[in-house]
Each structure stands twice: as C-alpha cells, then as structure tokens.
Amino acid sequence: MKLVGNGGGYGYGPMGATHHALEDYGALLALQNMRAFVPAFAADVAPCVQAMSQTPHPCYLRLGLDERPADFEAPPYPPWRRLLEGSGPVLLVMGPLVGKLLEALLGLAPSARPELWVAGQLPLSLYPPSPEFLESLKRSGRLCVAEEHVAQGGLGQALAAWLLARGLSPRRFEHVHALGYPSKTYGSQAFHRKECGLDAAGILARIHES
C-alpha cells in the first residue's frame, strides 16, 4: 500500500483545518512497518517514489510546494542532507519548509548562520541520522528542529528520543512546530507559519534566543 498526500502541513491555507495535514506522518508512523517520505524539492520526488517502489511495506509520500530559491542548486537526495555550512547551531528542517530558510540564510556569511540540514524520511529506526550530521551536532552542541507538523509524533520528538537513548543529547535543544490555530482564524500557508513561529524570521529568532 502506498499513500500520497498533497499539501502537507498548512499547504491548503485558507481552506482551513479540514484540509490541513498537521498530524499526518506522526499518526501514520504509529502503524506497524509504515515508512514516511517528505521530499523538500521537486527533484526529490522521483528518488522518493523509487525508494517506495522497492519496499514491500506501506509508505506515505507527503508532498508540498517546492520553495527552493531559483539560484540554489540542491545536492542529490538522501534521507539526511546538509544544504549550507555554518558556524552556529545545527538547524534541521523536515521537508519543503526548508526552502524559506534557504532564502533567508543564503545571504549570510557561514560564520553568521546556522548549519542547515534537511531530513526526508522516517522512522529513525530505519533512516537514522547520518554520521556527518552527528559530527556537526557534536561540534555545535546546539540543535533546532523545525517542522510543519505538531510536536506529538514529529521529527523533533523522535530525534530527541533517538539521541537521548544513545547518550548524544545536545546541550541545547529547540523544537519549532505547528501549533494549530493560535488566533482561531485561517489564512495562507505563510500566515499560519508566521503565527506558529515557523517562518524564517521566527525560526531564526528561536535560534538566537538559545
């Protein structure tokens, strides 16, 4: 069984909560043998579909808008990818949300920005952090995970537990995630991201506060 969901997170904007997918991969990964694939860019879709076709287990493909800056060429897809070097905290983003972070960070010198990573597959028992990611985390000691998904069942919770179980906990951990509807109103995807602190400015402010 292969499931495909379009408009992950707040992708359907003003159409409201009935059309938003804020708990999707968290709920689905509670099912036995489920795999979740969350491509960040349009070019990631084909390798994700290829990987899904090669497993007999159920899979979920979460699609969203490719928000990559036009002048940025993303490296080829693996489940864990470093997109930008940086001397600050490690910033790990799930899926297409990373496009707006790229837009905000590309103009900064590496000494003034976080090291930007993107993840694309769950669960971590099958797709664990890469050795390069763990080395960066060891260097920094500070980690911020951002995802357009509620905290429960998301990448942030899963990674925190994975690191703790292995004695690899960073000295500082931040998790920026969907908060539902704080103002009890609906708007564009950008509106909901900003309200939850999931826009680029909000995420970078959390990093600077830590």
Q: How confident is the model at residue 194 (pLDDT cuts 50, 70, 90)?
A: very high
Model pTM above 0.75: yes
Tens digit of each residue's pLDDT (9 = 90 or more) over 122-168: 999 999 999 999 999 999 999 999 999 999 999 999 999 999 999 99
Q: How confident is the model at residue 208 (pLDDT cuts 50, 70, 90)?
A: confident
Q: Name the token pair of 41.
A: 């860019």
Tens digit of each residue's pLDDT (9 = 90 or more) over 6-64: 999 999 999 999 999 999 999 999 999 999 999 999 999 999 999 999 999 999 999 99
Q: How confident is the model at residue 102 (pLDDT cuts 50, 70, 90)?
A: very high
Q: What's the confidence (pLDDT) of residue 210?
A: 61
Q: What's the confidence (pLDDT) of residue 171?
A: 95
- The domain locations on the chain are 2-209
- Report the run of H or E that residue 127 belongs to, with start and end: none
Strand ranges for 38-154 from DSSP E: 59-63, 80-84, 90-94, 115-119, 121-122, 142-146
- Report the run of H or E that residue 140 belongs to, with start and end: helix 131-140
Q: What is the CATH number of domain 2-209?
A: 3.40.50.920
Q: Which of 159, 177, 178 is nearest to 169 (CA)?
A: 159
Q: Name the token pair of 126.
A: 């099958």
- Report the run of H or E that residue 210 belongs to, with start and end: none
Q: What's the confidence (pLDDT) of residue 209?
A: 74
Q: What's the confidence (pLDDT) of residue 146?
A: 98
Find out whether the peptide bond into 129 is cis, omega within 30 degrees of 0: no
First to last CA, the chain: 42
